[in-house]
Amino acid sequence: MLTAAPQRPRLAYIISTLDAGGAEAQLVNTVNALPDDVDAVVFVLRDQLALLQKLENARVRIEVIGLRARWDLLGWIRLARELRSFRPRVIHSHMLLSNWAARAMAPLCGRPRVINHEHGLSKWKGLFVNRVDRATQSLADRILVVSRASRATRIADAGLDPNRVTVLPNAIDWTRFSQVRREPDEFPGTTWGIAARLTWVKRIDLAMELLGLCLANGDNVRLLIAGDGPDRAKLKAAAVRLGVDHAVRFLGHVHDMASFYKRVDMVMLTSSSEDCPMAVLESLATGRFLATTPVGGVPELIRGLHDVQVIDEHDLPATAKALARVPKGFDSSANRAAAERFDVNAHVRQLLDIYGISA
């Protein structure tokens, strides 16, 4: 007697944008690593699609809802219809707006398992947002956060149920990044690198201050900045004001980050707030030296590592002297090995377990 082939589990991912950001990059990494035996659709609420070309999994369908504003009723109706038609077994949403949409629309499509994914430390959330999060948390089967610092913040500020909140760090294609090696170039000194969206919270001006101190000491260093954002013009002006514009290059958006890490000896993260930054995971996997501010979830990522310099904002001259000792061509097998625990294939296996799907 013939039996029907089992239906592949249907997974719906909802995210506000596919702009260049950590949450968006994490969704791209996850979707690219999904196994063949699942049926997945990514619903993008707004038509900001900078990372669309990085979605390389041809089996995954992309649906751009095209919300014109937060209260675009027709857009929300379209999303509800798409979800009801697809009838997913799991809805996995990323970031606040998508998380609330998943909670509200799950009953319309057969009550799938709802997984909300939070990114950032959410210090910007006010009393109203925290109250809504707390009141509606029971509509989510699991709330994922990417660091222990984030979990503590959400439990304390939003009053989320600790039993509902699970830490699952971000993930990268470790195999790909671990194969990156420094390429020779004609610059005789050490090259620093920053990979970040150009906004005030990334404190790239702090990196330029450290660069200026090293240059004033006679050190041969330069800074390459991969990324774009609203503060690009201000940062260029800051480079001129600090007298380091001749040693700073703004590369704009870099599609192939592996090619960027081939050009640098050290990666800097100078943010005032971070959760589980992709730049830290990628730089460790490539074996680069890492200089970072000890904010948010970063200390969880670098604990026990020696090829890392914590930036002391209260003593920048001492930090600059330490960074000046990083040689051209630096390579850390210890950093590379430590990053393997963030491999996306292991991450996806954990996700499938959370979904209730056998890997």
pLDDT tens digits, one per residue of 96-136: 999 999 999 999 998 899 999 999 886 667 788 888 889 99
**CA-wise closest residue to 57 among 29, 98, 77, 15:** 29
Return the structure tokens found at 248: 């700073």
| pLDDT at residue 26 greater than cutoff 60 | yes
DSSP 8-class letter at 70? T
| pLDDT at residue 183 greater than cutoff 70 | yes
Residue 5 has a pLDDT of 43
| pLDDT at residue 268 greater than cutoff 60 | yes
Question: Using CA of residue 350, residue 352, residue 357, residue 359, what is the dihedral sign?
Answer: negative
Are 20 and 197 spatial neighbours (Cβ–Cβ below 8 Å)?
Answer: yes
| pLDDT at residue 291 greater than cutoff 70 | yes
Note the pLDDT tens digit of each residue in 213-246. 999 999 999 999 999 999 999 999 999 999 999 9
Q: How confident is the model at residue 34 (pLDDT cuts 50, 70, 90)?
A: very high
Residue 6 has a pLDDT of 58
Residue 14 has a pLDDT of 98
Q: Where is average pLDDT lowest: 48-62, 143-157, 182-196, 319-333? A: 48-62
Start-end of H helices in the chain: 22-32, 73-86, 96-105, 127-136, 148-157, 174-178, 204-216, 232-241, 257-261, 278-285, 298-302, 316-324, 333-338, 344-355
For the chain, give the number of residues: 359
Residue 55 has a pLDDT of 87
**CA-wise closest residue to 331 among 277, 271, 273, 267:** 267
Q: Where is average pLDDT lowest: 63-72, 83-92, 141-150, 309-318? A: 63-72
Q: What is the rounded average pLDDT for all residues in the chain?
A: 94
Q: Is 138 left (phi over 0), alpha (psi -120 to 50) or beta?
A: alpha
Q: Average pLDDT for residues 21-35, to the nearest whole number?
A: 93
Residues 6+ apart with CB under 8 A from 21: 197
| pLDDT at residue 146 greater than cutoff 80 | yes
**Which residue has tokens 């990417």?**
146
Return the structure tokens found at 131: 């109250």
Cα-Cα-Cα-Cα torsion 168, 172, 173, 176, nearest 10 degrees, comes to: -150
**CA-wise closest residue to 261 among 321, 204, 332:** 332
Percent pLDDT > 90 in the chain is 84
Note the pLDDT tens digit of each residue in 58-103. 899 999 999 998 889 999 999 999 999 999 999 999 999 999 999 9
**CA-wise closest residue to 276 among 231, 339, 233:** 339
| pLDDT at residue 359 greater than cutoff 70 | no
**CA-wise closest residue to 312 among 283, 335, 290, 292:** 292
| Cα three-residue angle 51-48-134, rounded to 5 degrees | 100
Rg (Cα) of the chain, in Å, rounded? 22
